[in-house]
Amino acid sequence: MGRIGRFFGLLFATGAIVFIVAAAGVGIVLWHYEQDLPDYTQLRNYEPPVMTRVHAADGSLLAEYARERRLFLPANAIPPLVKQAFLSAEDKNFYTHSGIDPEGLARAVMILIRGDKRVQGASTITQQVAKNFLLTNEQTFERKIREALLSFRIEAAYSKDKILELYLNQIFLGLNSYGVAAAALNYYGKSLHELTISEAAYLAALPKAPSTLNPYRNRDAATARRNYVIGRMQDDGHITAAQADAARREPLAINPRSLSPNAYVAGYFAEEVRRELLDRYGEKKVYEGGLSVRTTLDPQLQVLARKALVDGLVRYDEASGFRGPMRSINISDDWGVPLADIPSLGDVKPWRLAVVLDSNETSARIGLQPAREAGGEVSRERATGTLTAEGVRWTGRRSVRQTVAPGDVIYVEPYEDKPGQFRLRQIPDVSGALVAMDPYTGRVHAMVGGFSFDQSEFNRATQAMRQPGSSFKPFVYATALDNGYTPSSIVLDEPIEVDQGNGEIWRPENYDGKPTGAHTLRYGIEQSKNLMTVRLARDVGMPLIAEYSKRFGVYDDMMPVLAMSLGAGETTVLRMTTAYSMMANGGRRIRSTLVDRIQDRWGRTIYKHDQRVCQGCDVEKWDNQNEPRLIDKREQVLDPLTAYQITSMMEGVVQRGTATVVKEVGKRMAGKTGTTNEAKDVWFVGFSPDMAIGVFMGYDRPRSLGNSATAGKYAAPIARDFMKVALKNKPDVPFRVPPGIKLISIDPRSGMRATGAGSILEGFKPGTAPPDSYFSDQPRAGVNTPVSDRAIGTGTGGLY
């Protein structure tokens, strides 16, 4: 017994020594790896990169900007079904373990012992949080040790719900989706609360290998993994056997969300918002900051604006004839594949790309471009239609066969009332822009910067600097009205010579080349008389007109030369529409805006466009106090009485002048056309009492639109088409008359008091109205007297 006792004593002592040495060794190893562990406390204040979302005015989603498509949801906002699916798939004992799965760790050690350097194991959710947030994806034994140490510390520092929240918002799930909320949207077009058992199980299957389990490339493997997760959910008691069987029978039906501004043909608008956000906050804030942006876009008006502009561009372009097919392809085999390979514009619907299959004198059979499935493969469906003789009549060619040939790739548009029949279309060479705005706030309801954003991202509403031509004249006339002239003041429409100071003489001419004698200011703007405008500008003074143009934001620093009075400078459609809005709103300065409000990721408002103060809007209850009222401290850039006078004169442009086509709107409208030299640019800018519109048309590389081209022929009809539908359900209200204006019936040709047929109501400021009687001692308006002689050239509105 003694000898045996000593043996066991020695064995025990040896074992103890080995244990102590081993424990010391483990301790030393752990101490070594603990020295450079990342700071896990940073998880407490972690803000994951979250995408910025841009909404239209009605709340509909317009665009998203992100490097990682992620929506952050707190743990209490994630439905139990989603949590259960991920716990069953990844870590069923999550709520009971202390951060480490002994079985998974043992498996990793056994693999290492076998000599495999790629250490693998069943990591817990806590370990995945440690790896994803604080470590790398390097598959080594050292990384596993650090991962385990961090897991213990994370479990000690944070609640289980916090750890699960971090995990479910951080993981990558394929389709550029980070976190479960973004994945639900991108795979199914749903919120988390709308997911079925089958859908939640598939998302929970993805963390292992999102690329391998791609539903398009590896549908069988993806379905098998989903069904495995469903089985685990049943085993863990989260769902019943019947629910599991029903979920397995469901097909792997992926319905990826297609988010594009093209849904509202708002590519130009969305891109302008993106540029503004980048200028204001920088890339990191925009692509990772989770901003919520409420824009001013009215989706319905945007669709109408785009249609009006495109119809106008197409009208002009088709009048110039057919330029031929886009290209030709081989149709001897399957024509669908080569046709699908041709890039088509996504924002020109209902236009479609097609190929001519065969043709005769009266029609052609066409094949429509097949769609590509979500996985990238060309759909096997082949749709065909008929290109009719009526559909090519605009080309001026005698038959369909002379217009297109087999293999020609063309754009076509379906007839609304003739199923299966199409008309020929072509992408116009000419371009243009349209802006619709609230004249009281500067909120841009619609913006179209060209025919197609997919074709060209250059925004002709904000980036194209073009001459406004005669659409600038209202600012010349408003300057005169604000400085002594009246709408009935007389100015000569006769030839004038201007010495330009360099030995050259400038001799401006009217559009029709004909002088017409003495006329009122109203006549000058209604008929867009260049000679009258130049004379008026010389009398008022170009430095003063340059100051007014700066007030209105048309130009920043206009050269004070007389040619500028005819719109020879360069500006943008957005600037012109904003400037006209200030005349429509009674002379108040406004800033155009595409953004109403911006909130940060926590819902705090960090930007608001409307800076007016609502006095009394924040009271808790009604206690017979005064009604709330808006305090408007915006600058008055034009006398309200002058603003009404120039508005009334531009209403005459629509009723009797160069924009009579706009009368077809059927509502009160005011505005001005603009045609530049050689008709390189045509404009119409105008407004109703509650909406302003600016339209421009011209080639990107300026060239003449034709000898007979005028703004009244091409730009004004675009404005008419838009305003007719935009104001369809709006009441026809008159322009607001400010206090102080006296309305007097006059003859619009002479400016004298008159009644009966042909007379109009003219607005006069106090003390400027024509005399009641011309048979008195008072001088007669527009007739030379000693007083009026002295007034000539002084800016008081005498005969000039």
Compute the distance between CA of residue 515 and CA of residue 507 in angstroms, rounded to an integer.
12
**708-711 long-range Cβ contacts below 8 angstroms, 24+ apart:** 709/675, 709/679, 709/682, 710/511, 710/658, 710/673, 710/675, 710/679, 710/682, 711/469, 711/470, 711/471, 711/658, 711/659, 711/673, 711/674, 711/675, 711/682, 711/683, 711/684
Give the tokens for residue 622: 């009604």
Residue type, 704: S
Active site includes 470?
A: yes
SS3 of 75, please?
helix
Burial class for 552, CB neighbours closer than 10 Å (0-12, 13-18, 19+): buried
- Adjacent-strand bridge partners of 96: none
In angstroms, the CA 571 to CA 554 distance is 6
- Paired with 352 in beta bridges are 412
Distance CA 74, CA 34 (A): 31
10 Å CB burial of residue 292 (0-12, 13-18, 19+) is middle
In angstroms, the Cα distances linking 530 to 499, 672, 677, 796 are 17, 14, 12, 20
Q: Is 487 within 8 Å of 481 (Cβ atoms)?
A: yes
For residues 237 and 203, give the distance between their C-alpha atoms in angstroms, rounded to a whole number: 19
Q: Alpha-carbon distance 52 to 65, whole Å?
A: 5
The label of the residue with tokens 């995945």 reads 128
Best CA proximity match to 119, nearest among 723, 129, 131, 304: 131
How far is 314 from 753, CA to CA, in rounded Å?
46
* CB within 8 Å of 325: residues ≥ 6 apart: 356, 404, 405, 408, 409, 410
Residues 138, 156: Cα–Cα separation, whole Å: 25
* Distance (Å, whole) CA 260 – CA 63: 6
Catalytic-role residue among 90, 147, 276, 288? 90
Amino acid at 302: Q
Tokens of 66: 């992100």
Rounded CA separation 60/669 (Å): 31
Nearest to 57 by CA among 300, 301, 303, 296: 296
Q: Which amino acid is at 368?
A: L
Q: The tokens of 441 are what?
A: 């706030």
SS3 657: coil
Using DSSP bridges, classify how beta strands 421-425 and 384-388 pair: parallel, antiparallel or unpaired.
Answer: parallel
C-alpha 585/C-alpha 769 separation (Å) is 24
Q: Containing H/E element for 205?
A: helix 197-205
Catalytic site residue from 363, 431, 470, 688: 470
Tokens at 185, concatenated: 């949207």
Q: Which amino acid is located at 208 in the chain?
A: K
Spatial separation of the C-alpha atoms in residues 721 and 687, rounded to whole Å:
14
Contact between residue 522 and residue 652 where contact means Cβ atoms under 8 Å apart: yes
Question: Could you give the maximum distance between any two Cα atoms of the chain, in Å?
Answer: 152
* Residue 399 falls in the annotated catalytic set: no
Residue 458: how many other CB atoms lie within 10 Å: 14
Whether the Cβ atoms of residue 54 and residue 63 lie closer than 8 Å to each other: yes
CA-CA distance, 414 to 172, in Å (whole number)?
42
H or E element at residue 64 = strand 61-65
Residues recognised as catalytic: 90, 470
